[in-house]
Amino acid sequence: MAHETSHDSHAGLIWKVFGFLSLVTVVEVILGISKPDSIHLTNFLGTSILNWIFLILTLVKAYGIAWYFMHLKQEKASLRRAIVWTTVFLICYLSFIILVEGGYIGDVMSKYTNWNNK
Amino acid sequence: MEATVATENKNEGAWHGGGKKPLNASYGKMMMWFFIMSDALTFSGFLAAYGLMRFKFLDSWPIADEVFTHVPFIHGHYPMYYVAFMTFILIFSSVTMVLAVDAGHQMKKGKVTLYMLLTIIGGLIFLGSQAWEWKNFIGGTYGALELEDGKIVQFVDATGHQIALEDFVKRDNVERVQHTRSNGLWYVEDAGAIPPYTVNEVIQSFNANPNIALRTEEIISETKHKKILSREEANTFLEKSIGVVKGANLKVNEYGKTLFADFFFFITGFHGFHVFSGILINIIIFFNVIIGTYERRGHYEMVEKVGLYWHFVDLVWVFVFTFFYLV
């Protein structure tokens, strides 16, 4: 808005965001290949701490893309909230219901899988 | 932005073809956001369905690090590197896209053209990489046996690493015939390609080779590795095997659960289709930039709108990357 009319170049900021996103991806890949036992073989709120780290880093990347590449930061707060709050709420709701259900089905079904093959 | 197409707005209260800008966003931009939100929910539905099946088979889901291990021109076991490269390419094409939008705000036609071109090239590289990834997944790496109840068993060497069938199976030179409807059972569809070995060849080679062990899909929760069977246990599995599997498709998957392959094809395919249409739209905009459509219109908002779509495709990939390759 104020920026849009002044036609400043944001190239510097864009490259910084790119550097940050690449760094996060590199960290993810290093963790994904090494899978340190100390965080991989743990269980915290239903999954390993390693998986929580991946999830949080993913959300950080999503924030970077939406705020700086998709210019949500420069939109009016009301438009930004209409987009972000709605989507985030619906996705949280959907994943919560479906993943809890999946966990339940897994618990029930795993008793019937015959891994000893007898 | 005063030079939007419809500047005269006598009809107060209506949007009037984009003349009015509620929330300071033009009609086109807002509709692009509406589309992106609905598309985001579509992808969430797919990924949530993947999560449902993943939790359902938490004790036996394939481990992604063992599935996607190929790097072009190099043989060996390199998990994640290539898909990390793909992620990097897509983020980079997002950067060139946002630089094109930025140059558009400053009305620099030459820069917009260059950055749009780089974005298109980035998209093409990503799409090519995805095709290559599919090719490897469909072709398979090691081969496995399928049991009568649908379980998959794989072969490992003494160190616990998977080995390919062709590394230990000896051929019997039994003559095998491709089944076709015309000379077999008329109600059975034409079978797919004949697998490289027969079940008997695999079992005999396994018995003749004491260093090889059998691995099931079951994940041991303490170590998060797949369970390796003793030779005695292995026999009870081998006698129930009904087929040799090489590669993955919608019916069988040498890496484990067929559902994994189904979701992989469906979700990365749907994402790839988005990339493909994004490239097409980018090309249209690219030529419009060259012939000066937006220069004459007085603003490059069209580049911004298609940019939103392109970034969204990148955003989705960030999640697909996490849920298919990392978690």
For chain B, say whether A90 makes contact (Cβ under 8 Å). yes
Minimum mean pLDDT range among A48-52, B56-60, B185-189, B196-200: B185-189
Q: Whole-angstrom Cα distance, residue B28 to residue B190?
A: 50
Q: Is the pLDDT of residue B2 over 90?
A: no
Q: Taking CA atoms, what residue in A is nearest to B56?
A: A106
Q: What is the pTM of this model?
A: 0.90
Amino acid at position B143, single letter = G
Backbone dihedral region for residue B292 (phi beyond 0: left; psi -120 to 50: alpha; all else: beta): left
- Taking only the tens place, the pLDDT of each residue in A2-50 is 444 446 788 999 999 999 999 999 999 999 999 999 999 988 888 899 9
Residue A86: per-residue pLDDT: 95
Of A32, A82, A94, the CB nearest to B48: A94
SS3 B146: strand
Q: Whole-angstrom Cα distance, residue B261 to residue A58?
A: 23
Q: Whole-angstrom Cα distance, residue B257 to residue B214?
A: 17
What is the average per-residue pLDDT within B61-77? 88
Q: Is B183 exposed, middle or buried (0-12, 13-18, 19+ CB in 10 A)?
A: exposed
Chain B residue numbers with beta carbons less than 8 Å from the beta carbon of A33 are 65, 79-81
Minimum mean pLDDT range among A2-16, B225-239, B266-280: A2-16
Q: How far is B105 from chain A (nearest CA, A)?
A: 6
Q: Is the pLDDT of residue B6 over 70?
A: no
Q: Which two tokens stand for residue B295?
A: 């220069």
What is the average per-residue pLDDT within A85-104? 96
Q: Which option is the CATH number for B27-140+260-326: 3.30.460.80, 3.90.1200.10, 3.40.50.1360, 1.20.120.80?
A: 1.20.120.80
Residue B10: per-residue pLDDT: 52
Q: Where in chain B are the domains? A: 27-140+260-326, 144-246
Q: Whole-angstrom Cα distance, residue A71 to residue A68?
A: 5
Neighbour count for residue B37 (Cβ, 10 Å): 17
Helix (H) or strand (E) holding A57: helix A49-64
Q: Which two tokens stand for residue B62?
A: 């394939």
User: Given an 8 Å threshold on Cβ–Cβ distance, is A22 in contact with B99?
Assistant: no
Helix and strand numbers (H, E) in chain A are 5, 0
What is the average per-residue pLDDT within B91-115? 95
For chain B, say whether A76 makes contact (Cβ under 8 Å). yes
- Taking only the tens place, the pLDDT of each residue in B31-47 is 999 999 999 999 999 99
Q: Whole-angstrom Cα distance, residue B325 to residue B64?
A: 5
- Taking only the tens place, the pLDDT of each residue in B115-136 is 999 999 999 999 999 999 999 9
What is the average per-residue pLDDT within B263-291? 97
Residue A116: per-residue pLDDT: 80
